[in-house]
Structure 1
Amino acid sequence: MRRLLERRRGAAVTARWRVRPGPPGTPADRAAGRLTRRLLAGELARAREAALAWRNGLAALFVGLLGFGLVKGRTDVSKLAPPYDAVVGVILLLCLVFGTLGALLLLRAAHGAPTGVRLPTGVPAAAAALHLGDHMETRRTVRALTRGVALTIACGAMLVAGVALTWYGPEKEGPRVLVRTPAGQVCGKPVRTAAGRLLVETDAGRVEVRLAEATALTAVDSCPGASFGP
C-alpha cells in the first residue's frame, strides 16, 4: 500500500513538470546562431593558419640566431674551466630536447596529427557532431601550438645562454711549470724565456728564474703549494 502511494505521489510530481516551447527567436537570435555556426565551421582552419604563421616566424628567429652565432668567439667547449664545460653541455642537451619537442608540437599544430578522421557513429553524421569533432581538434591544435611556442622560445634562450657561457666563461688553466732551485721552488704559468732566464706567472706575480741555477724543471697540471722566488 505504501509503495502504491509513493508511486502515485511521484507520478503527480512528474505531471507538474511540462516542457513548453520558449519565446520565438528574434532576428538578432537568428543572426547570432548563424555567426556561431560560421565561427565553429572555420575555427580549425584559422587555428591551423595561426600555427603555420607561428612556425614560419620562429623559423626566421632561429635563422637570425644562427647568423648571430657566426660572430667569432670561443668555439671549443673543452677550453672552459670546470664546471662551466659541464654546464654548457647540459644546456646544449636541454636545448636539443626542447627544440625537438617544440618542432614536433608546431608541426602537430600546423598540419594535424598523422591519424585518420574519426567520424561519429551513424552515417550520415549530424552536422552538430561534426562541428563538435572539429572544435575538439581545434582545442588540441591550440594546446599544441601554445606548448610548441613555449618550448621553442626556451630552446632559443638556452642556445643563447650556452653560446654566452662558451664565449665569456673562464678559460681552463694551461699546464704549469715547477722549477726547483737551491733557494726554493717556483710554480706557475711560463711566460717566456730569454738570456737563460725563465719568466713565470705565479699567484704572487711574475718571478724570473735563472735556468742555470735550476735543479729540476717539471711540467705539472697544478701547483702543489705556495711558490717562492729564488
Structure 2
Amino acid sequence: MTQRWSVRPGPPATRADRHAARLTRELLSGELARAREAALAWRNGLAALFVGLLGFGLIKGRTDVGKLASPYDALVGGALLLCLVFGTLGALLLLRAAHGAPAGVRLPAGVPAAATALHLGDHMETRRTVRALTRGVVLTIACGAMLVAGVALTWYGPEKDGPRILVRTPSGDVCGKPVRTDAGRLLVKTDTGEVTVRLAQAEALAAVDDCPGGPPAE
C-alpha cells in the first residue's frame, strides 16, 4: 500500500514572525558590505602597524648579515624569506577581502533571479570574504613576527670570528684576536682572556684561521 502525503498550509505568520523575517532579510542584505568595511579597517590598521615595524627595523644596528656567525646568517636569511612570502600572501588575501575577487558576478539560473537566491549568493561571498580576511590577518602577523625575528638575530647574533694572530715568544705561543698595539706591545684577546705581548720579544708573527689546540701562554 502506497503511503500518501498531504501538504497543508501552516498557521498564519504572526507579527513577531514578520518582524523576525524582516530583520533577517536586512541582515543578509547588508552583511557583505559590513564584511568589506571590516576588511578595509583591518587592512589600514595592519598597514599602520607595519609602518611602525619598518621604523623599528631601521634603528641603527648591525647592517651586514655577512658578519654573523653560522648558522645565524642562514636563520636571518630564512626569516626574511618567510617574511616576504607571508607578507605577499597576506596582502593578497586582505585585498581579496576588502575589494572582492577579480571576477564577474554570476547570477543564479533564471532571469529575473529570485531575491532569496541573490541573498544566498551574497551570503556565500561574505563567507569567502571573512575567510580571506582571517587568513590574511594571520599571515600578516606572521610576516611581522618573521621581520622582528630577523632584525633581532641581526642585532644580537654573534659575530663571525675574524682573523687570528699567532705570536711565537721564548715563553710560548700566544694565539687570539689582535686588539691593539701600544708602546711596542700587542694586546691579544685569547680564549682565556687578554694577553699582552712585547713585540721586541716576538720571534715570529703569523695570521691563522684557527688557533692551535692548548691554552695560550701568558
**1:65 pairs with one of 37, 53, 69:** 53
- What is the aligned partner in structure 1 of residue 101 from structure 2? 113
TM-fit CA distance, 1:102:
0.3
Q: Is it true that 1:43 corresponds to 2:31 in the alignment?
A: yes
Is the 2:187–2:195 Cα contact (8 Å) retained in structure 1?
Answer: yes
**2:21 pairs with one of 18, 27, 33:** 33
Q: Is it true that 1:224 corresponds to 2:212 in the alignment?
A: yes
1:75-106 superposed Cα distances (whole Å, 9 cap, x missing partner): 22112111111111111110110010000000
Is the 2:39–2:133 Cα contact (8 Å) retained in structure 1?
Answer: yes
Say which SS state the counterpart of residue 172 (structure 1) adopts. Answer: coil
- What is the aligned partner in structure 1 of residue 126 from structure 2? 138
TM-fit CA distance, 1:26:
0.3
Q: Is it true that 1:205 corresponds to 2:193 in the alignment?
A: yes
Is the 1:185–1:227 Cα contact (8 Å) retained in structure 2?
Answer: no
Say which SS state the counterpart of residue 117 (structure 1) adopts. Answer: coil
- Percent identity between matched residues is 82
Instruction: Name stretches of at least 5 consecutive residues in structure 1 with no aligned partner.
Output: 1-8
Aligned structure 1 segments of 4 or more residues deviating by more than 3 angstroms: none
Matches of 1:227 and 1:189 in 2, distance apart? Answer: 14
Matches of 1:96 and 1:31 in 2, distance apart? Answer: 50
Matches of 1:70 and 1:205 in 2, distance apart? Answer: 35
Q: How does 1:1-230 map to 2 (within 5 A)?
A: 9-10=1-2, 13=3, 15=4, 17-229=5-217
The alignment covers a number of residue pairs equal to 218
TM-fit CA distance, 1:173:
2.0
Is the 2:184–2:199 Cα contact (8 Å) retained in structure 1?
Answer: yes
Say which SS state the counterpart of residue 174 (structure 1) adopts. Answer: coil
Matches of 2:138 and 2:183 in 1, distance apart? Answer: 63
Matches of 2:137 and 2:36 in 1, distance apart? Answer: 14
Question: Which structure would you say has the larger Rg?
Answer: 1
Say which SS state the counterpart of residue 119 (structure 2) adopts. Answer: helix
TM-fit CA distance, 1:224:
2.3
TM-score, length basis structure 2: 0.94
1:160-204 superposed Cα distances (whole Å, 9 cap, x missing partner): 111111111222222110112343211101122233322211112
Matches of 1:70 and 1:197 in 2, distance apart? Answer: 40
* Most deviating of 198-207 and 42-51: 198-207
Is the 1:176–1:219 Cα contact (8 Å) retained in structure 2?
Answer: yes
TM-fit CA distance, 1:214:
2.6
1:95-153 superposed Cα distances (whole Å, 9 cap, x missing partner): 11001000000000000001111111221111111111111100000000000001101
Matches of 2:148 and 2:192 in 1, distance apart? Answer: 36
> What is the Cα-based RMSD across aligned positions, in Å?
1.4
TM-fit CA distance, 1:216:
2.4
TM-score, length basis structure 1: 0.90
Matches of 1:31 and 1:220 in 2, distance apart? Answer: 87
